[in-house]
C-alpha cells in the first residue's frame, strides 16, 4: 500500500524546511561524500514479456564518461502510474541514483499506467513476479548494463522486491525494501492481524487502475476490456476473508529464508514495520536494518523526524553489491532503531524526542518483563491468586483515537480507554526502555460465537494524558489455526495470544504502563456483528510481556546520520495544490453513533498537461447495531491531456448485516464533460468470521 497524499505532503514540508535552513538532524553527522556526478538522460521505452505484453519503462540513464563504460541497473516496478500520478516524485530518486552512476528503470506493472495487458486479478500476482524476473534478465543484458541488477522501493515495490528476491533470478544481486510485508493476510492493508480492514487505499487503487493507458490516454474497446470493465479488486479481497492459498502464494514468510542481500527500512508509525524483524532475523544473506520514528515514508522526509539522508548509505550499498567496491558498508552497525522517549500525545509533531541506537546485529542484551492485569485496574508483576472475571461491554465505535491503522500520530487515548478495560502499573521509579514486539496473552469468555479483541500498550503521564505506544488486534476464530477458523463457544473460556506490533519506547520515571483491552478498533477493524458482553479472566493465564533493553544515552554510541539533501526538482512539472489528508472523528455518546472521515485533494502539472485527484471516505457504526456498519467513498480523477478533459469517478459502498457484506462499486467515465461509459458491480458476500 502507498499512502501517497500523506507522504507527499510530509515530503514537501521537509523540503521547505531544508530550503529555509530549519531542519536539523539527531546525532552526529558526516558531510556528503564529494563526487563528480554523471550527466543523465530521461528515456521512455518498453520491454516485451514472453507473452508479447509490452511493459512501459522510464530510464534515468547516466551518460558514459569513457568509451565502453557500463552501469548497474536499479529497478522499481509499481502500478502507481509513472507518467502521471508519480511522475514528479519519481524524478528526485531517479536523478539521485543516475547522477551516481546507476541506470534507474521505473516500470509500470502490466495492465496499469503505460503498460499493456489486462489489470491483474489482484496485487502481487504470479504474472507480476514472473514479469519482474524477465525484466531483471533483460535489463542485465542491455549493452549499457554491467550485468548486475538491484530492486528497490517503498510499499508495493518493497513487497515485490522481497518476493522476486525469493525466486533468486541470477542477475539480482541485492535489494532495498522500505515498508514491506512478508505476510499478505496478517500484515497487509486488507486484513490487519487477521481482521477485516476496509481502507481508502482499496478505493484509490481500483479507481486509478481504471484510468486509460498513458501517455496517449486512448479510450477504445481495448481500454474498456483491459481496464474500465475489469471488476474492482475490493470484491476479490472481500471474498478471501480467511488465510489460505490466495494470500500465501507469494507471501515470503512461508518460503525459505531470503538469500539475496537486503537493506531494510521501517517506520514506528507504519503499519508494516514488523517485516524488518521478520526478514532481518531469518535471512541467510547480509542485512542492514533501520527503523525510524516516521510514518509510511522514506527516512529523508518521513513525519515525524528526526530525518536523515538514507540514500548516501544506499549508494554505498549498491556500490558494494553492484559495482564490487569494497567500501566497508558491512563492517558498520547493521541494526539501527530510534528509541522514542516517552512524550505527550500529539498529532502534529515534526520531530519527537529520543535517540538512535546502533548495533552490529539485533540487540542480544534484551530481557522480558511480565505484567499481570488485576482487579481495580492494576497491572502488577505478580498474578492474582484466583482467576477473576472482569466484564467488558462491547461498544462498536471504540477505537477512533488510534486512527485508521497501526500507524500515524495519535492524540490522547483517554477517549478510547473510557470504553475499554484498562490496567495500570504503579508509577515507575526509574526509566524503562523497550524495543521489539511485546507479547500478550488473554484468557477470555464471551456471550456470542464471534467478537474481536484489541490490545493497546500505552503510556500514562503524571498529568493523566495517555500516549499510544503500539497495539494489535486479535481475531479469535484463528486462535487454534489460521487456516481452519472456529467459532467461540458462548460462556466457555478460551485463550488468545498476540504479538503487539514492533515498537520502541522509553517509559519515564513517574509514568505508568497501561494495557488497554477492548472488543472494537473502529474504523481500523470492521465491527463484529453482535452487541453484548465479553469477560477478561485475570490470573496466571492473562499477561503482558515487554521486551526490555538496557537504557542508554545518545552519547554512548555514534550513529552517523547525514542530513537530508534537497531533491532535484522535476524540470517538466510542479505540484500546484496538496491538501490533506484530513482525518475527522465524531462520537455521540447518547446515541452510540460513531463516524470517521478522511478527505484530500491534489493538483499538479507535468509535460504541459494538468492533473487533479480528490477523494472523500466515511465509516459509520452504531453501538446498539454493530452488524449494520457501513463504508462509503468517492474518488475523482480529472486529467487534462492536450486540452481534452478525461474524468473518472468511482463511488463505493459497503454495508454489512449479521451474515453478509453488501458491496456496490460504480465507475463513471466522461470526456469533455460528456458521459462515455458507466458500470456498476454489486455482490452480497457472506461474512466468514469477520
Query: What is the tens place of the pLDDT at every residue in 392-429?
Result: 999 999 999 999 899 889 999 999 999 999 999 999 99
CATH superfamily name and code, 367-549: Galactose-binding domain-like (2.60.120.260)
- For residue 39, the 8-state DSSP code is P
CA 480 to chain centre: 27
Is the omega angle on the peptide bond into residue 32 within 30 degrees of 0, that is, cis? no
pLDDT value at position 555?
A: 65
Return d(Cα 453, Cα 440) in angstroms, integer.
12
CATH superfamily label, 38-194+243-292+314-325:
Alpha/Beta hydrolase fold, catalytic domain (3.40.50.1820)
Domain boundaries, the chain: 38-194+243-292+314-325, 367-549
Helices (H), 242-331: 245-248, 275-282, 310-322
What mean pLDDT do residues 143-172 have? 98
Provide DSSP, 116-151: -SPPPSSTT-HHHHHHHHHHHHHHHTSTTEEEEEEE
pTM (predicted TM-score)? 0.93
Dihedrals phi, psi of 598, to nearest 5 degrees: -145, 140
DSSP three-state, residue 270? coil
Q: How many residues does the structure list for the chain?
A: 690
Pairing outcome for strands 533-538 and 432-436: unpaired
Pairing of strands 388-393, 533-538: antiparallel
Return the pLDDT at 375: 85
Q: For residue 176, how many other CB atoms are within 10 A of its CB? A: 26
Count CA within 13 A, CB hemisphere, residue 306.
22
Is residue 249 classed exposed, middle or buried when 0-12, 13-18 and 19+ CB atoms within 10 A define those classes? middle
CA distance 80 to 614: 16
Report pLDDT for 3: 31
SS (H, E, C) 321-384: HHCCCCCCCCCCCCEEEEEEECCCCCCCCCECCEEEEEECCCCCCCEEEEEEEECCCEEECCCC
pLDDT at 556: 65
The separation between CA 271 and the C-alpha centre of its own chain, rounded to angstroms, equals 5
pLDDT band per the 50, 70, 90 thresholds, residue 554: low
Residue spans of alpha helices (H) in 168-244: 200-208, 221-223, 233-239
Look at residue 31 and tell me whether its pLDDT is greater than 60: no
Bridge pairing between strands 533-538 and 439-446: antiparallel
Burial of 363 (0-12, 13-18, 19+ CB in 10 A): middle
Question: CB neighbours (10 Å) of residue 167?
Answer: 15
In the predicted structure, residue 13 carries a pLDDT above the cut 70: no
pLDDT in tens, 459-493: 999 999 999 999 999 999 999 999 999 999 999 99
pLDDT digits (tens, 9 = 90+) for 374-391: 988 999 999 988 899 999
Number of helices (H) and strands (E) in the chain: give both, helices first: 11, 32
Q: Over range 50-58, report the average pLDDT.
A: 98
Residue 59: count of CB within 10 angstroms of its CB: 22
d(CA 420, CA 423): 10
Q: Is the pLDDT score of 19 beyond 50?
A: no
Q: Please, which pLDDT band fits residue 625 given cuts at 50, 70 and 90?
A: very high
Nearest Cα neighbor of 432 from 552, 548, 336 is 548
The pairing of strands 439-446 and 543-549 is antiparallel
User: Please, which residues have CB within 8 angstroms of residue 483's CB and are 6 or more apart in sequence?
Assistant: 242, 243, 244
pLDDT at 15 over 60: no
Amino acid at each position: 500500500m502507498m499512502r501517497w497524499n500523506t507522504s507527499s505532503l510530509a515530503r514537501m514540508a521537509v523540503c521547505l524546511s531544508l530550503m529555509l535552513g530549519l531542519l536539523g538532524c539527531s546525532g552526529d553527522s558526516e558531510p556528503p561524500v564529494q563526487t563528480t556526478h554523471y550527466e543523465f538522460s530521461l528515456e521512455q521505452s518498453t520491454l516485451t514479456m514472453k507473452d508479447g505484453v509490452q511493459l512501459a519503462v522510464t530510464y534515468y540513464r547516466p551518460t558514459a564518461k569513457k568509451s565502453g563504460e557500463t552501469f548497474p541497473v536499479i529497478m522499481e516496478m509499481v502500478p502507481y502510474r509513472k507518467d502521471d500520478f508519480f511522475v514528479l516524485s519519481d524524478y528526485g530518486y531517479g536523478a539521485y541514483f543516475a547522477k551516481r552512476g546507476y541506470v534507474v528503470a521505473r516500470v509500470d506493472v502490466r495492465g496499469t499506467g503505460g503498460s499493456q495487458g489486462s489489470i491483474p486479478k489482484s496485487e502481487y500476482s504470479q504474472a507480476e513476479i514472473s514479469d519482474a524476473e524477465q525484466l531483471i534478465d533483460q535489463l542485465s543484458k542491455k549493452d549499457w548494463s554491467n550485468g548486475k541488477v538491484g530492486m528497490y522501493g517503498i510499499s508495493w515495490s518493497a513487497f515485490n522486491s522481497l518476493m522476486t528476491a525469493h525466486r533468486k533470478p541470477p542477475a539480482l544481486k541485492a535489494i532495498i525494501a522500505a515498508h514491506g510485508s512478508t505476510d499478505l493476510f496478517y500484515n497487509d492493508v486488507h486484513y490487519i492481524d487477521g481482521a477485516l480492514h476496509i481502507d481508502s487505499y482499496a478505493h484509490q487503487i481500483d479507481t486509478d487502475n481504471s484510468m486509460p493507458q498513458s501517455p496517449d490516454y486512448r479510450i477504445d474497446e481495448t481500454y474498456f476490456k483491459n481496464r474500465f470493465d475489469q471488476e474492482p479488486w475490493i470484491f476479490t479481497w472481500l471474498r478471501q476473508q480467511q488465510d489460505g492459498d490466495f494470500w500465501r502464494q507469494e507471501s515470503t514468510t512461508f518460503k525459505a529464508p531470503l538469500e539475496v542481500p537486503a537493506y531494510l527500512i521501517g517506520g514506528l508509525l507504519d503499519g508494516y514495520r514488523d517485516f524488518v524483524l521478520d526478514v532481518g532475523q531469518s535471512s541467510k544473506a547480509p542485512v542492514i536494518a533501520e527503523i525510524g520514528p516516521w510514518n509510511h515514508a522514506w527516512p529523508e522526509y518521513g513525519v515525524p523526524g528526526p530525518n536523515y539522508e538514507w540514500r548516501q548509505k544506499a549508494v554505498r550499498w549498491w556500490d558494494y553489491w553492484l559495482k564490487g567496491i569494497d567500501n566497508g558498508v558491512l563492517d558498520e552497525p547493521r541494526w539501527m532503531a530510534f528509541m522514542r522517549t516517552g512524550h505527550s500525545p500529539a498529532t502534529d509533531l515534526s520531530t519527537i524526542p529520543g535517540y538512535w541506537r546502533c548495533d552490529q546485529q539485533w540487540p542480544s542484551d534484551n530481557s522480558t518483563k511480565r505484567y499481570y492485569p488485576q482487579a481495580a485496574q492494576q497491572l502488577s508483576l505478580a498474578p492474582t491468586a484466583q482467576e477473576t472475571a472482569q466484564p467488558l461491554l462491547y461498544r462498536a465505535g471504540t477505537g477512533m483515537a488510534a486512527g485508521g491503522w497501526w500507524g500515524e500520530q495519535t492524540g490522547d487515548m483517554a477517549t478510547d480507554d473510557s470504553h475499554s478495560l484498562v490496567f495500570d502499573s504503579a508509577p515507575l521509579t526509574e526509566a524503562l526502555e523497550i524495543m521489539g514486539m511485546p507479547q500478550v496473552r488473554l484468557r477470555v469468555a464471551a456471550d456470542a460465537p464471534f467478537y474481536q479483541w484489541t490490545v493497546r500498550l500505552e503510556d500514562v503521564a503524571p498529568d493523566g494524558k495517555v500516549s499510544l505506544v503500539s497495539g494489535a488486534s486479535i481475531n479469535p476464530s484463528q486462535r487454534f489455526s489460521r487456516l481452519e477458523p472456529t467459532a467461540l463457544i458462548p460462556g466457555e473460556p478460551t485463550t488468545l495470544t498476540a504479538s503487539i506490533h514492533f515498537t520502541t519506547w522509553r517509559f519515564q520515571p513517574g509514568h505508568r504502563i497501561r494495557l488497554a483491552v477492548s472488543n472494537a478498533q473502529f474504523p481500523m477493524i470492521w465491527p463484529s456483528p453482535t452487541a453484548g458482553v465479553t469477560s477478561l479472566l485475570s490470573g496466571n493465564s492473562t499477561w503482558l510481556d515487554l521486551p526490555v533493553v538496557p537504557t542508554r544515552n545518545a552519547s554512548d554510541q555514534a550513529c552517523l546520520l547525514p542530513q537530508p539533501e534537497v531533491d532535484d526538482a522535476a524540470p517538466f512539472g510542479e505540484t500546484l495544490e496538496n491538501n490533506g489528508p484530513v482525518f475527522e472523528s465524531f462520537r455521540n455518546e447518547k446515541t452510540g453513533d460513531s463516524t470517521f472521515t478522511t478527505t484530500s485533494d491534489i493538483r499538479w502539472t507535468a509535460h504541459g498537461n494538468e492533473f487533479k485527484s480528490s477523494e472523500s471516505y466515511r465509516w459509520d457504526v452504531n453501538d446498539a447495531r454493530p452488524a449494520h456498519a457501513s463504508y462509503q467513498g468517492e474518488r475523482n480523477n480529472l486529467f487534462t491531456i492536450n486540452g481534452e478533459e478525461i474524468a473518472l469517478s468511482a463511488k463505493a459502498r459497503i454495508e454489512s448485516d449479521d451474515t453478509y457484506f453488501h458491496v456496490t462499486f460504480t465507475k463513471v467515465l466522461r470526456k469533455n464533460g460528456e458521459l462515455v461509459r458507466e458500470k456498476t458491480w454489486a455482490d452480497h458476500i457472506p461474512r466468514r468470521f469477520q
